Structure 1
C-alpha cells in the first residue's frame, strides 16, 4: 500500500472515531444528567417524607389539643358555679336547724339537681373529712391550730371549703385547717 492509501484509511477511520467519541460524550452527558436527576429526586422524596411526617405530627398535636379543650371547655362556667354550690350547702345546714321539713326537702331537691348536672359535666367533689392525712398536693391549708388530740397532729381538723376536680384536673383545692 502506498502512503496515500494509508492516509485515506486514517481519514476514513477518524470520522468514525470522532462520531464514536461524540456518541460516548453524549452518553456520558446523559448519564450525568440521570445521576443528577436521581439525586434531585431523592432530595425531593426526602423533603416530601419530612413534610408528611411534620403534617402527621401537626394533626396528632391539634387533635390532642382539641380533646383537651373539650375536656376543660366548661371549666370557667363550672368554677363560677362552685360558690353557688357552697351557698346551697350552707342553706341546707341552716334549713335543717330551722326544722322546716318541706322547705328543706324542696331546697334539697334543687341542690341535688344542680349537683347531678355539674357531675354530668365531669365535675367531681373531693371527699375530705376530719382525720384525713394532710396532702399538700391535693389540699390547701388555710391555718394550723393546736390539735385536740395526739392522733390529729398533722391531719385535717376541719374542711372550710370543698374541693373539686374536672376530669383529672383539680380546679379548686379543698381549703382545710390542720392540727399542729
Structure 2
C-alpha cells in the first residue's frame, strides 16, 4: 500500500464526516456544517499552497546561490589560469634586465656579429614572454608621477618648474601580466 499525500489524507478526513456517524450533525444544521467542511477544505488547500510557495522560494534561492557559486569559481579559475605563470615571469624579469645591460655593453664593442646574435636571442626571449601575457609598462621621462603605477626610488630637485611632480629618470622598467602589475617601474621624481 502506497503512502498517501497530505491532501488525500485531509480529503478523506473531511469526506469521512457524515450525519450518520456524527449525531451532532442534523438536517437543520447540515447546510451550515457543509459550509464549515468547505471552509476547512479551502483552508487546507490554502495552507498547502502556502507551503508549496515557501518550498518554491527556498528552491529558487538555493538555485540562485548555486549559480552565483558557479560564476564565482569560474571567474577565480580564469584568473588563476591568467596569472598562473606570474611567479615564473617575476623570476625571469632579472634575466630580461641582464639582456638589456648586455646589449648596451655589446653595442660599444667592435664585434657586431656577437651583438646581432645576442640581440636575436634577446628579441626571441622578449617575444616569448609577450606571448605569455607579459607587457612592459611604458614610462617616459616627463610623464606625471602616479603612485598607483610607479615606484619612486628618490626625489631630486627638478631641473625646471615644468618637471615638478614628473618623472626625471627611469631606473628599472615595470611589467604587467594581464591586468595585474607584477613589477612597478622604479623612477626618480622631481620636486
Superposition TM-score tier, normalisation by shorter sequence:
0.7 to 0.9
Which of 70, 85, 92 is residue 59 of structure 1 equivalent to? 70
How many angstroms does 1:108 deviate by?
0.8
- The residue number in structure 1 matching 2:122 is 111
How many angstroms does 1:67 deviate by?
2.1
Pair 1:129 & 2:140 matched? yes
**Structure 2 length-normalised TM:** 0.76
Structure 1, 120-129 or 57-66: larger mean CA deviation: 57-66
Which of 171, 176, 179 is residue 187 of structure 2 equivalent to? 176
**Structure 1 length-normalised TM:** 0.80
The CA distance in 2 between the partners of 1:63 and 1:138, in whole Å, is: 28
The CA distance in 1 between the partners of 2:41 and 2:144, in whole Å, is: 81
The CA distance in 1 between the partners of 2:163 and 2:110, in whole Å, is: 33
Is the partner of 1:131 in helix, strand or coil?
coil
Q: Which has the larger radius of gyration?
A: 1
The CA distance in 2 between the partners of 1:69 and 1:87, in whole Å, is: 29
In structure 1, runs of 5+ residues without a counterpart are 1-13
- The residue number in structure 2 matching 1:37 is 48
Aligned residues: 167
1:1-180 equivalences under 5 Å are 16=27, 26-180=37-191
The structure whose residues are more often helix, as a share, is 1
Structure 1, 72-81 or 20-29: larger mean CA deviation: 20-29
**CA 1:100–1:147: 2 relative to 1, 3 Å:** farther
Q: Tell me the alpha carbon deviations over residues 119-142 of structure 1, each in whole angstroms, 9 at most, x when there is no partner.
A: 111111012122222222211110
How many angstroms does 1:54 deviate by?
1.2
The CA distance in 2 between the partners of 1:174 and 1:33, in whole Å, is: 72
How many angstroms does 1:80 deviate by?
1.1
